[in-house]
Amino acid sequence: MTKKSLYFIILYFIFNVFPNPVTAKERMGSKDAVLSLQVENDLFADGSDKHFTNGVRIVYVFPEAKPPEFSKGLLNLFGLTPEAATGAARIHVAAGHNMYTPDDITVAELIPEERPYAGWLYGELGATVQNGRVMDKIVLSLGVVGPASLAEDLQKTWHRWINSPVPQGWDNQIKNEPALLVTFERAWLTRHDIAGPALQLDFIPKAGIALGNVFTYGSLGGMVRFGPHLPDDFGSERIRPSLGHTGFFDARAGKFDWYLFAGAESRVMVRNIFLDGNSYRNSHSVAKKRFISDFTLGAATTFDAHFPVKLSYTLVIRTRNFKTQKQPDTVGSINFSVRF
């Protein structure tokens, strides 16, 4: 097997008012699992190829009543197993890959005022507990940044396939380093009926904290959703550092539903390895902005024919991440999920 074949096999597997808690738990569909594919790319927004240029994440959410054996020891520490939780508890595993480049990828020399080339390859284990319309989530992520993330090979090969300029500056990427990230999040959902269940409005405030050598930050945000028969799933998943959701989703049998949403999230960044550079080795870095905000707008659909499916698109406008950045970034996020 060639090195290139191995890389693409790896890429393939990387390529998503409070009621009674019992009611929410019944709606979760405890016998169902969920498989999601999430892709975020500037190509889906403004067609550019810079900064956070691509992220992909594949997620498997275990059935509520069947958490994996290997997860129980870790999750017991936080009281998040189904046995310990008072609401609906779900375990997920995921694999993902993020890629970061400077504004001009045709320059081979280091560009001091531009962000470093960087890649992040990771796996994660997480748990979500939903008590009525309150959601708590903890996620542990382990991986690697630097050449071992395979970002250089993947981007160069992809650009050759699509006859796009081959990036020239990967020799300046941040160096290999183990990548650890732990995130804690909470979200609250409040619903208002405009015309009964046929037209509803949701408000979902969120808060989170991340600790690790990849990211360290605190975050506050929220989302507004508008549509018929809104689900209790807290929205669609996004790739870190964005706040997460349950990973599960509701779909009415035989029905096509939709909703529109808009949101905002602000983070106080203490550490961002993709801007600060390596933790214990010299590498390219730039002066990061301490306060960063995301503004989102999108739509989601759910339908249940032979099995439930969810598809969503999110347009993300992210304020400047580093001090010499010339303008905000725009990224498109696509999420496709199936429940079975």
Contact 88, 30 (CB under 8 A): yes
DSSP for 291-336, please give it.
EEEEEEEEEEEEEESSSEEEEEEEEEEE--SBTT--S-EEEEEEEE
- φ, ψ for residue 315, nearest 5 deg: -95, 125
pLDDT tens figures, 78-104: 565 555 555 677 889 999 999 999 999
Each residue of 132-152: pLDDT tens digit? 889 889 999 999 999 999 999
Report the distance separating Cα 238 and Cα 263, nearest Å: 13
**Higher-confidence residue: 66 or 30?**
66
Q: How confident is the model at residue 316 (pLDDT cuts 50, 70, 90)?
A: very high
Kindly state the tokens that stand for 270.
């203490």
How far apart, in Å, do the first and last CA atoms of the chain sit? 34
Q: What is the pLDDT of residue 23?
A: 35
Give the residue with greater pLDDT, 308 vs 65.
308
Which pLDDT score, from 0 to 100, does residue 7 have?
42
State pTM to two decimals.
0.86
Q: Is 114 exposed, middle or buried (0-12, 13-18, 19+ CB in 10 A)?
A: buried
Phi-psi region of 75 (alpha: psi -120 to 50; beta: other; left: phi over 0): alpha
Answer whether residue 24 shows pLDDT above 50: no
* Whole-number pLDDT of residue 8: 46
Asked if 171 and 143 count as a contact pair (C-beta separation under 8 A), the reply is no
* 274 vs 122: CA distance, rounded Å: 14
> Would you say 216 and 241 are in contact if contact means Cβ atoms under 8 Å apart?
no
Query: 254-279: per-residue pLDDT in tens?
Result: 889 999 999 999 999 999 999 999 99
Mean pLDDT over each residue of the chain, to the nearest integer: 85
pLDDT of amino acid 44: 86
**Structural domain 3-339, CATH architecture:** Beta Barrel (2.40)
Reported as a single tens digit per residue, the pLDDT across 183-237 is 999 999 999 999 988 999 999 999 999 999 999 999 999 999 999 999 888 888 8
What pLDDT score was predicted for residue 87?
61
